[in-house]
Chains A and B, each alone.
Chain A
Amino acid sequence: MATTDTLRPMGHSEPKDERLARIQKSLRRRRSAETRFRIYGMSAVAIACGFVLFLFASIMHDGLPAFWQPALQVKVTFSPDVVKVAPKPEKAPGQSPAEFQRANLDWQREVTMVNWNRVIQDAVQAAAPDVELAPRDVQAVVSPNQRFKLRDMFVENPGLLGQTVDVSLLASANVDVWLKNNIDHTLGDDRQQLSAAARQLVDRLYENGTIKMVFSTVLFTNADSRGASAEAGLLGAFIGSLYMMIIVIVLAVPIGVASAIYLEEYAPRNKLTDLIEVNINNLAAVPSIVFGLLGAAVFINYFRLPLSAPLAGGLVLTLMTLPTIIIATRNSLKAVSPSIRQAALGLGASKTQMVFHHVLPITYPGIMTATIIGVAQALGETAPLLLIGMNAFVATVPTTPLDQATALPVQIFLWEGNENRNFFEPRTAAAIIILLVVMLLLNAVAIYLRSRFERRQ
């Protein structure tokens, strides 16, 4: 005779109300288990969503202030006492172009030798007449490369000599840190980045409105900079990433779509195609850093492609993105209804005509999505690029895919490792925001294109 609850014969050994009570108790238990399970699920969703919000909030909180940086709005006087240069050479009649060029270069060199620091100091002095300025403090406050800005202004327009103009000079990174309270103001002098006098000067200039927070355009117009951190920008990294994305799109999309078409439409079911299939699925799951090792050994060491070049990076990313595009394209080919194929074949189209004229056009939205997913993935990839030297410090904007360059995510990694952490931590977060915005735009374009395509059909 069974003794478990469920198999107990009904009505004999147990009065009715007792049985009811037992069932109700068990129901209560089961219902509370149900509620508990539901709460577990809800809290898992809440954790995941909460983390997304927390992540974005913390990046925004850190990064948004970095889009504004302090600049000194000063009146710069190109006083003839300091800017002691001969007038800009005019092209004399009978002078050969080469000679004129040389004279011009000599003049520019002379302009560069002008004591621009002195010009800046005078301008700052004019803004804070009652402070006794030391040259060292002024140089600590104004970003070092700003003197070239004055030089370029003068080379452009030598008529400025003796005139006074309004100029916005970027303040140095340390001023940015000080004004944004990213360093503890109560720390002792020996642990501050600015000297006591320079700090006083900054506070004074900030109070009288000389130093203003301006939108940081250098972030978008400059390449990385080591000497003048305040002027470090993302343009170089952005162009590097752009070249790599172009290479990925030009190579990975046609090759990926072609192999998806072959595997899905042509390939006979045999050992070889099975192998290719397993292989592609496995490649999609190979760690990205292994592709970096492949790139270092094959592209750099064997084919001798230049180190740190977007060409090598683009090729590595192409190989990495290929499986993603193949798998996604195959899925959208699979989703095409067989009736379309049969109709095309029935009307006498050859297999190739059927595929390229009838099946493939239907999958364009799917291929587009696959491309965007692949490109976005490649855009955010960092590890393989480190192995082919794309973490080099590059202070110029690359002009060809063979020039040294870096990439947006690598630039984030590099800035995160910068010694001036008080300044570069917000900048890193700003760079992250820019990277995320680029990815968001990519996805928006994908959604827009897909909806247009779908409407047309």
Chain B
Amino acid sequence: MNSIVIILLLLALLSVGYQVGLSRGRTVAATAQRTMHSRPNYHGLMVALWCIVPAAVVLLLWAVFSNDLTTNYILSFIPSDVAGDPNLLREAMRRIEQIAAGFGVIGETQAWEVAAGEGLRQFRSVSFWSVVVLAAVLGIAGLLLMSRRIAPRLRARNEFEVAIRVLLIFCSLIAIMTTVGIVASLFSEAMRFFAFVSPIDFFFGTVWNPGFTTSGGAGTGEYGLLPLLWGTIMISAIAMLVAIPVGLLSAIYLAEYASPRVRTVAKPMIEILAGIPSVIYGVFALVTLGPLLSDIGALVGIQIRATSALTAGIAMGLMIVPFVSSLSDDIITQVPRAMRDGSLGIGATKSETIRKVVLPAALPGIVGAFMLAISKAFGETMIVVLAAGNAPILRFNPFDAASTVTVSIVNQLTGDTNFASPQSLVAFALGLTLFGMTLVLNVIALYVVRKYREQYE
């Protein structure tokens, strides 16, 4: 209900503002002695903007601060002995919320609880409506101010274009704010985790056994990162052993050898792989690939678990193939034609040209592409959650079950919202580690790819 009122208010302001501005602009234009600087629709847009921005600012401020204000208001009802104890306070708040919402509460209700609930309800509706009215008044004030300014000399188009530019800058800052948000939230929660467990135990510990969240069990369990890190590296290495040869060679073949007919079939087919969600690879690895590998292992006399580092690694490698092949394709086609022609002209065969001229020239770019692929493998989650067997033990056998950083993040945080125990906070320390690793890989890789591109431009 509330959000509908707000949306209707804003829409009304917007359309009224535009109409007023437009018609006022037209009247001024009809009566003016000289030509107008801007066309009437820019006057309309400008008035609409002046209408909606003050109103939106008020509503935004209210959205940000209303919770704190409401809490302060309720606190004035609560006796000091309850307000002093965090647990009692939280419980009291919950009960008051329920009374205000009109639900019954369990047990006896205190007089102050009822009063607070009633007060809260009144406060909510009074504050909401006063904010709406304030927003409307400000919007109309903006409308009046701006429509008075409309005159032949007014540079309404230029002003509107400045507003557009501000909006565009704001939008492009959202990407920055996302990164800041990621770093800040990971850091602050990870710091809270490091208050329980020392960073040395975390980064250099060899045992991962976080135990279970229990009410008083803070600090129990062992949080050694190394088994998870090793699992991540081992599975990623297996994935790369699959993805790099298949991806690179198929990119070369399709770019240099394949007939157009083969290319039009095979290229989209490989690209389909990139569009398949990773959870599907995970299910496939668990249901089909794992048992298959296990049977093959039994044939040659190696014991391979159905859910193992190998299973997850191969599935992940196949998932990354299109990534490697499309990046390599881009990079190989950027090698100048003249280098190829020179090599072919002195009698080298096609494969010699590729191996001795094209690939060395493209090497930095290809290395960059591989690093991006590795970073993708580090961060992959669903395949390993489903198919790696979840065994966070430091062991070097790829045929056995393993666990990774991402799997542990999912296990520790799934469905848990009470970020107070080290068991759930550790997810953020793991996330920070993962973010750090992929950040370094990405930044180096992006730098290398960019440098490489500039070299041949």
Task: Give, as a whole number of angstroms, the nearest-CB distance from B403 to chain A.
Answer: 14
Q: List the A side residues contacting B214 at CB < 8 Å.
A: none
Per the bound structure, the CA–CA distance linking A387 and B427 in Å amounts to: 10
Task: Give, as a whole number of angstroms, the nearest-CB distance from A432 to chain B.
Answer: 5
Closest A residue by C-beta to B67: A304
> Is B446 positioned at the interface, with any CB of A under 8 Å from its CB?
yes
Asked whether, in the complex, the Cβ of B279 is within 8 Å of the Cβ of A258, the reply is no
Asked whether, in the complex, the Cβ of B283 is within 8 Å of the Cβ of A293, the reply is no
Closest B residue by C-beta to A31: B349
Interface of A is mostly: helix
Task: Give, as a whole number of angstroms, the nearest-CB distance from B192 to chain A.
Answer: 11
Q: List the B side residues contacting A291 at CB < 8 Å.
A: 182
Asked whether, in the complex, the Cβ of B249 is within 8 Å of the Cβ of A40, the reply is yes
> Is B73 positioned at the interface, with any CB of A under 8 Å from its CB?
no
Asked whether, in the complex, the Cβ of B165 is within 8 Å of the Cβ of A266, the reply is yes
Asked whether, in the complex, the Cβ of B321 is within 8 Å of the Cβ of A48, the reply is yes
Closest A residue by C-beta to B376: A285
Known A44-B250, A261-B168, A380-B278; judge A293-B428 contact (CB<8 A). Answer: yes
Known A282-B179, A287-B381, A380-B277; judge A301-B417 contact (CB<8 A). Answer: yes
Asked whether, in the complex, the Cβ of B406 is within 8 Å of the Cβ of A289, the reply is yes
Per the bound structure, the CA–CA distance linking A286 and B181 in Å amounts to: 13
Asked whether, in the complex, the Cβ of A285 is within 8 Å of the Cβ of B415, the reply is no
Asked whether, in the complex, the Cβ of A412 is within 8 Å of the Cβ of B178, the reply is no
**Chain B 150-198 residues near chain A, CB threshold 8 A:** 157-158, 161, 164-165, 167-169, 171-176, 178-179, 181-182, 185-186, 188-189
Per-position 1/0 for B335-359, Cβ under 8 A of A: 0000000000000011110110000
Task: Give, as a whole number of angstroms, the nearest-CB distance from A271 to chain B.
Answer: 13
Known A51-B318, A350-B161; judge A34-B350 contact (CB<8 A). Answer: yes
Q: List the B side residues contacting A58 at CB < 8 Å.
A: 284, 287-288
Per the bound structure, the CA–CA distance linking A360 and B254 in Å amounts to: 34
Per-position 1/0 for A279-323, Cβ under 8 A of B: 111110111111111101110110010010000000000010011
Per the bound structure, the CA–CA distance linking A410 and B386 in Å amounts to: 12
**Chain B 279-335 residues near chain A, CB threshold 8 A:** 279-280, 282-284, 286-288, 318, 321-322, 325
Picked from B172, B252, B284, B375, the residue with its CB within 8 Å of the CB of A41 is B252
> Is A383 positioned at the interface, with any CB of B under 8 Å from its CB?
yes
> Is A226 positioned at the interface, with any CB of B under 8 Å from its CB?
no
Asked whether, in the complex, the Cβ of B350 is within 8 Å of the Cβ of A287, the reply is no
Q: Which of B53-61, B118-126, B135-143, B264-272 contacts A (4 or more CB under 8 A)?
A: B264-272
Known A34-B350, A294-B181; judge A52-B273 contact (CB<8 A). Answer: yes
Closest B residue by C-beta to A262: B168
Task: Give, as a whole number of angstroms, the nearest-CB distance from B442 to chain A.
Answer: 4
Per-position 1/0 for A241-284, Cβ under 8 A of B: 00000000000001110110111001100000001101111110
Asked whether, in the complex, the Cβ of A262 is within 8 Å of the Cβ of B171, the reply is yes
Asked whether, in the complex, the Cβ of B415 is within 8 Å of the Cβ of A391, the reply is yes
Closest A residue by C-beta to B386: A416
Task: Give, as a whole number of angstroms, the nearest-CB distance from B296 to chain A.
Answer: 14
Asked whether, in the complex, the Cβ of B245 is within 8 Å of the Cβ of A44, the reply is yes
Task: Give, as a whole number of angstroms, the nearest-CB distance from B204 to chain A.
Answer: 23
Task: Give, as a whole number of angstroms, the nearest-CB distance from A69 to chain B.
Answer: 20
Q: List the B side residues contacting A266 at CB < 8 Å.
A: 165, 168
Per the bound structure, the CA–CA distance linking A382 and B410 in Å amounts to: 11
Asked whether, in the complex, the Cβ of A262 is within 8 Å of the Cβ of B446, the reply is no
**Chain B 247-264 residues near chain A, CB threshold 8 A:** 247-250, 252-254, 256-258, 262
Per-position 1/0 for A344-379, Cβ under 8 A of B: 000000111000000000000000000000001001
> Is A180 positioned at the interface, with any CB of B under 8 Å from its CB?
no
Task: Give, as a whole number of angstroms, the nearest-CB distance from B191 to chain A.
Answer: 12
Per-position 1/0 for B399-425, Cβ under 8 A of A: 000000010011001110101000000
Asked whether, in the complex, the Cβ of B382 is within 8 Å of the Cβ of A383, the reply is yes
Picked from A304, A387, A412, the residue with its CB within 8 Å of the CB of B280 is A412
**Chain A 421-456 residues near chain B, CB threshold 8 A:** 425, 428-429, 432, 435-436, 439, 443
Q: List the A side residues contacting B157 at CB < 8 Å.
A: 350
Picked from B253, B379, B414, the residue with its CB within 8 Å of the CB of A387 is B414
Per-position 1/0 for A47-76, Cβ under 8 A of B: 111011001001100100000000000000
Closest B residue by C-beta to A439: B275
Q: List the A side residues contacting B200 at CB < 8 Å.
A: none
Asked whether, in the complex, the Cβ of A37 is within 8 Å of the Cβ of B354, the reply is yes
Per the bound structure, the CA–CA distance linking A282 and B178 in Å amounts to: 11
> Is A42 positioned at the interface, with any CB of B under 8 Å from its CB?
yes
Q: Which of B79-87, B92-100, B431-439 contacts A (4 or more CB under 8 A)?
A: B431-439
Picked from B67, B275, B351, the residue with its CB within 8 Å of the CB of A38 is B351
Q: List the A side residues contacting B161 at CB < 8 Å.
A: 350-352
Closest A residue by C-beta to B168: A262
> Is A113 positioned at the interface, with any CB of B under 8 Å from its CB?
no
Picked from B276, B325, B385, B413, the residue with its CB within 8 Å of the CB of A296 is B413
Known A287-B378, A297-B185, A380-B279; judge A425-B287 contact (CB<8 A). Answer: yes
Asked whether, in the complex, the Cβ of A262 is within 8 Å of the Cβ of B172, the reply is yes
Per the bound structure, the CA–CA distance linking A413 and B381 in Å amounts to: 12
Asked whether, in the complex, the Cβ of B321 is within 8 Å of the Cβ of A386, the reply is no
> Is A409 positioned at the interface, with any CB of B under 8 Å from its CB?
yes
Asked whether, in the complex, the Cβ of B438 is within 8 Å of the Cβ of A45, the reply is no
Asked whether, in the complex, the Cβ of A55 is within 8 Å of the Cβ of B167, the reply is no
Q: List 27 A-B contacts (CB under 8 A).
A: A33-B351, A34-B352, A45-B250, A45-B258, A48-B246, A48-B273, A52-B269, A58-B287, A255-B174, A258-B168, A262-B168, A279-B175, A281-B442, A282-B179, A282-B439, A285-B372, A287-B375, A290-B182, A322-B178, A323-B175, A326-B172, A382-B382, A392-B415, A413-B279, A413-B282, A432-B280, A432-B283
Give 10 nearest A-B pairs by CB, closest first. Answer: A287-B379, A380-B277, A41-B253, A259-B172, A44-B249, A37-B351, A383-B381, A258-B171, A297-B185, A262-B168
